Amino acid sequence: MEIKNFLHPGSIAVIGASRDPKKIGNQLLDNIISGGYEGKIYPINLKEEEILGIKAYKNVSEIGENVSLAVIVIPSSLVPGEVENCAKNNIKNFVIITAGFSEVGKEGEELEHKLESVAKKYGLNILGPNCLGFINSSIRLNATFAETDLKEGSIAVFSQSGAIGSAVLDWFLGREFGISIFASLGNKTILDECDFLEYLINDEKSSCAVLYLEEINNGKRFMDVVSRLTAKKPVVLLKSGKTSEGKRAAMSHTGSLAGEYETILAGARRANAIVVDTIEELFLFMKFFKRNLSVDDSRIALVSNAGGPLVITTDYASQKGLKFHDFDDALKGELTEILPEVRTINNPLDILGDADADRYRRAIDKIISNRSFQSLLILLTPQTSTQIMETVNIILEAGKKYPDKLITTCFIGGRSLEEAKAMLDRSASVINFDFPNQAVKCLSRYVRYLNNRNNPPYTYFRDDTPVYKGVQEDYLVGLSLLQKF
């Protein structure tokens, strides 16, 4: 289903708009207005003449102009009828915020079937029901009832869980980077993740997609769309086992669905999605994508004033398949000259516990300006000679001076680093993690994604988590997934 028009409505009716600030119908209208949306807005309410300074209508039929999108927040029992009424008034696109459909049991299911029939009869796009709404920051449209900054960014986020959607929007508050498109998928009666992912293939505003899914309705289409998208930009997927487990419990007498969860994940990997296991990793990856990444291979250097953390990071990197390639002789020579304090010049580079800001500066400058290295991971622990804020400034300057390079930082410790970490976090040019394992995890998975993208058909990389243990052969799994749905 083509959803470009859905995401770029020329005008919006809010059906169930309210003057009461406690009501979602008020918060939603307020968000659309205050976000800065420039199209026409029509509050629909049976009793009001005006809401939030905008003329209100009793019914969409009164508007007398074309409406591109209806956002619906009326009680569930009224929804199918109202959608049909809108459809008769030539509205094709809908966001149904209202809950109380298939998620609440049998009665709700019937209501959702009715809604589906109306949608199919008129060929409608419907997001939801039972969702937070969506955001398209390129047209400054916040059609959700969640508080958010609407800072334009390049991260596209789709969540089947409202709670995770809320958490993600909250996580973006006050950050220097933001969302391109956000959609809370809700019950996915009509529109699902595939519709949005397909749109992203040619959306230049979005540099990646971050997904939380509980179920995938159409495995074949999912693998097809994700494969096409990952050929251009990374897709990060967190999938819960909810539906699979629920189904398993319900259908335990057949046993036919055992392993479906693993199969879906294997299929997603086959399509070169970056599959993560925890909400923490989902958030980490968003941090990692705050820049349009320019690294296109694994040429990564590591600089540290801390021997222990450097060794642990190297261990961890090697476990995750990430290598710190040797400096070439020319670079070694240059570094030896400018770092006479440091005995062993190699990658990873230990600039020693007594490194001051100037020693950091010399090492960083030389490595980041070298065309052999696209990416630099910088570790720091607070020791007696450490100049914390001065070192931060040096790193931020390097980030600005070399915008085509990727600088990642981990300052390991506690209170004395708080200000430094906050500054690094706020920076647009540097990506800061609390711990090196987080940086290594993101970098290694990203490099793996790139390797796969450049060498299709994808090599199957097994993950370490037990859930993937049983899956040995990616190709067969990919095929079986395709045949299954």
Count of residues touching a second copy (by CB under 8 A): 63
Q: Binding a second copy by CB under 8 A: which of 139, 205, 262, 283?
A: 283
Buried b (16+ CB within 10 A) or exposed e, 84-123: bbbbebebbbbbbbbbbbbeeeeebeebbebbbebbeeee
CB of 315 to a second copy, least distance (A): 5
Rounded Cα distance, 363 and 358, in Å? 9
**Residue 60 and residue 90 in contact, taking contact as beta carbons nearer than 8 Å:** no
Q: Which of residues 163-192 bind a second copy (CB under 8 A)?
A: 163-164, 166-167, 170-175
- Asked if 466 interacts with a second copy (CB under 8 A), we say yes
Binding mask 237-256 for a second copy (x = CB under 8 A): -x-xxx--x-----------
Cβ neighbour number for residue 311 with a 10 Å cutoff: 13
**Residue 391 and residue 351 in contact, taking contact as beta carbons nearer than 8 Å:** no
Nearer to a second copy, 251 or 422 (CB): 422
- Asked if 76 interacts with a second copy (CB under 8 A), we say no
Strands (E), 217-338: 235-239, 274-276, 300-304
Instruction: Tokens for 154, please give them.
Output: 């390049």
Token pair 């690094």: residue:
424
Q: Residue 136, SS3?
A: strand
Rg, Å, the chain Cα set: 25
Q: Binding a second copy by CB under 8 A: which of 152, 467, 480, 485?
A: 467
Scanning 135-143, 250-258, 429-437, 446-454 for contacts with a second copy by CB under 8 A, the matching segment is 429-437
- Asked if 110 interacts with a second copy (CB under 8 A), we say no
Q: Residue 132, SS3?
A: coil
Q: Binding a second copy by CB under 8 A: which of 147, 328, 341, 419?
A: 147
Among residues 19, 6, 97, 94, the alpha carbon closest in space to that of 52 is found at 19
Q: Binding a second copy by CB under 8 A: which of 254, 384, 455, 483?
A: 384
- Beta bridge partners of residue 182, listed in sequence order: 135, 157
Strands (E), 4-130: 11-15, 40-44, 50-51, 54-55, 69-72, 93-96, 125-127
Quote the DSSP letter at residue 369: T
Q: Which of residues 206-225 bind a second copy (CB under 8 A)?
A: 212, 214
Among residues 389, 351, 347, 388, the alpha carbon closest in space to that of 370 is found at 347
- Asked if 108 interacts with a second copy (CB under 8 A), we say no
Nearer to a second copy, 91 or 377 (CB): 377
Helices (H), 130-239: 162-172, 193-200, 219-230
- Asked if 38 interacts with a second copy (CB under 8 A), we say no
- Asked if 422 interacts with a second copy (CB under 8 A), we say no
CB of 43 to a second copy, least distance (A): 19
Binding mask 295-334 for a second copy (x = CB under 8 A): ----------xxxxx-xx--xx--x---------------
Nearer to a second copy, 171 or 485 (CB): 171
CB of 38 to a second copy, least distance (A): 26
Nearer to a second copy, 93 or 314 (CB): 314
Give the containing element (helix H, strand E) for 368: helix 357-368
- Asked if 346 interacts with a second copy (CB under 8 A), we say no
- Asked if 8 interacts with a second copy (CB under 8 A), we say no
Give the containing element (helix H, strand E) for 409: strand 406-411
Q: How many residues does the chain have?
A: 485
How many CA atoms within 13 Å lie on the side-chain side of 426?
Answer: 9
Helices and strands counted in the chain (H then E): 17, 19
- Asked if 78 interacts with a second copy (CB under 8 A), we say no
- Beta bridge partners of residue 50, listed in sequence order: 55
Nearer to a second copy, 397 or 434 (CB): 434
Q: Binding a second copy by CB under 8 A: which of 21, 53, 340, 414?
A: 414
Scanning 34-42, 44-52, 70-78, 434-442 for contacts with a second copy by CB under 8 A, the matching segment is 434-442
Q: Binding a second copy by CB under 8 A: which of 279, 338, 423, 482?
A: 279
Q: Residue 220, SS3?
A: helix
**Largest interatomic CA distance in the chain:** 80
- Asked if 387 interacts with a second copy (CB under 8 A), we say no
Nearer to a second copy, 219 or 436 (CB): 436
CB of 244 to a second copy, least distance (A): 10
Binding site for a second copy (CB under 8 A): 24, 27, 104, 145-147, 159-164, 166-167, 170-175, 212, 214, 238, 240-242, 245, 277-280, 283, 305-309, 311-312, 315-316, 319, 343, 353, 381-384, 412-417, 434-438, 464-467
